[in-house]
Amino acid sequence: MSTEQQYYIPEPSKWPLVAAASMFVTLTGLGLLLFNMTAGNDSMSGQLMFGLGLVGMAYMFFGWFGKVIEESMGGLYSNQLSVSFRKGMSWFIFSEVMFFAAFFGVLFYVRLFSVPWLSGEGAKGIAHMLWPDFSATWPLLTNPSPEQFGSPKAVIDPWHIPLINTFLLVTSSVTLTLAHHALKAGKRSLTKIYMAITMLLGFTFLALQIYEYIEAYQHLNLTLSTGIYGSTFFMLTGFHGAHVTIGCIMLTTVFIRILKGHFTADDHFAFEASAWYWHFVDVVWLMLFMLVYVF
């Protein structure tokens, strides 16, 4: 960057194009996979294309982020760009909030309107005519049309695995903050220890969540296809789990970078962005715990 110039403009890069193409291949592959699955085709073309797309995505992330890290470490980035990154990440998290808001909105609508209406309560209780035997409960264990949608035997007890998971995630947010303070104070070995604990807690959360899903599918007959309780339960917790997975990948990347000696006490945007993301998934979990599991 020349001295009279205050702005940094990144040079042309192939990575955006690689990203767009990989996104296209991944999603088209996933579409093909689902298309074949539902149509009963044996073709593996979807899996192949999906896999290829994921490889492309991985290549893109390594390449693009690697390039950005290289430029950042090379001192090319101005303070202004750092602010742009921060604002960009904040707005990205806001968009994620709205994504979850859509599913929480659905849960709200189902519990307050559609299920009570189907059992004859409320302003549109006339819907009871469809299935006169149906009576509303929540969790909904018997669906309006039990022939079409099977009945879950029970739902997940909030006071076992979910409570442990709540404890794990809240603790991980605390340890991550401690890691941040340690990084800012320049205590790098302490940072590494706290980061390792955070990651361990995150991965344990994921393992328990997988265990809970297996339990639900194998023993409780609580599945995606056993009515709206299962639909909302698995979509909300599933997308949360997917976000925890992304968060874990981010934390792992940051951890490796700390091990390699990246970041300084006052410049560590990747750490902060990952931490914001992690706190965001933590808050979403608290909402889930309250609204999906407990009440």
Binding positions for other proteins, 180-219, rule CB under 8 A:
none
- C-alpha distances (whole Å) from 125 to each of 36, 120, 131, 144 are 39, 4, 11, 13
Q: According to CB under 8 A, which one of 50, 72, 110, 213 is a site residue for other proteins?
A: 110
Q: According to CB under 8 A, which one of 45, 62, 66, 94 is a site residue for other proteins?
A: 94
Shortest Cβ 229–other proteins spacing (Å): 7
Dist. CA 166–CA 288, nearest whole Å: 10
Number of residues that bind other proteins (CB under 8 A): 81
Helix (H, G, I), strand (E, B) or coil at 95: helix
Q: Please report whether residue 30 would count as binding other proteins according to CB under 8 A.
A: yes
Q: According to CB under 8 A, which one of 48, 66, 73, 105 is a site residue for other proteins?
A: 105
The two three-digit tokens of residue 39, written as one number: 């149509």
Q: Please report whether residue 102 would count as binding other proteins according to CB under 8 A.
A: yes
Q: Please report whether residue 230 would count as binding other proteins according to CB under 8 A.
A: yes
Q: According to CB under 8 A, which one of 55, 224, 256, 294 is a site residue for other proteins?
A: 224
Site string for other proteins, 113-142 (x = CB under 8 A): xxx-xx---xxx--x--xx--------x--
* Contact between 246 and 140 (Cβ < 8 Å): no
Residue 27 or 200 having the CB closest to other proteins: 27
Dist. CA 278–CA 251, nearest whole Å: 8
Contact range with other proteins by CB under 8 A, out of 186-194, 222-230, 262-270, 278-286: 222-230
Residue 234 or 293 having the CB closest to other proteins: 234
Residue 64 or 203 having the CB closest to other proteins: 64
Q: Please report whether residue 290 would count as binding other proteins according to CB under 8 A.
A: no
Secondary structure (DSSP) of 131-174? STT----SS--S-SSTTTS---S----TTTHHHHHHHHHHHHHH
The answer for residues whose C-beta is within 8 angstroms of residue 41's C-beta and 6 or more apart is 35
* Contact between 260 and 194 (Cβ < 8 Å): no
Of 234-263, which residues contact other proteins (CB under 8 A)? 234-235
Dist. CA 280–CA 272, nearest whole Å: 12
Of 149-178, which residues contact other proteins (CB under 8 A)? 149
Shortest Cβ 96–other proteins spacing (Å): 7
Q: Please report whether residue 294 would count as binding other proteins according to CB under 8 A.
A: no
Dist. CA 271–CA 82, nearest whole Å: 13
Vertex 217: Cα angle to 135 and 144 (nearest 5): 20
Residue 202 or 230 having the CB closest to other proteins: 230
Residue 142 or 171 having the CB closest to other proteins: 142
Of 38-77, which residues contact other proteins (CB under 8 A)? 38-39, 64, 76
Shortest Cβ 12–other proteins spacing (Å): 4
Secondary structure (DSSP) of 199-228? HHHHHHHHHHHHHHHHHHHHTS---TTSHH
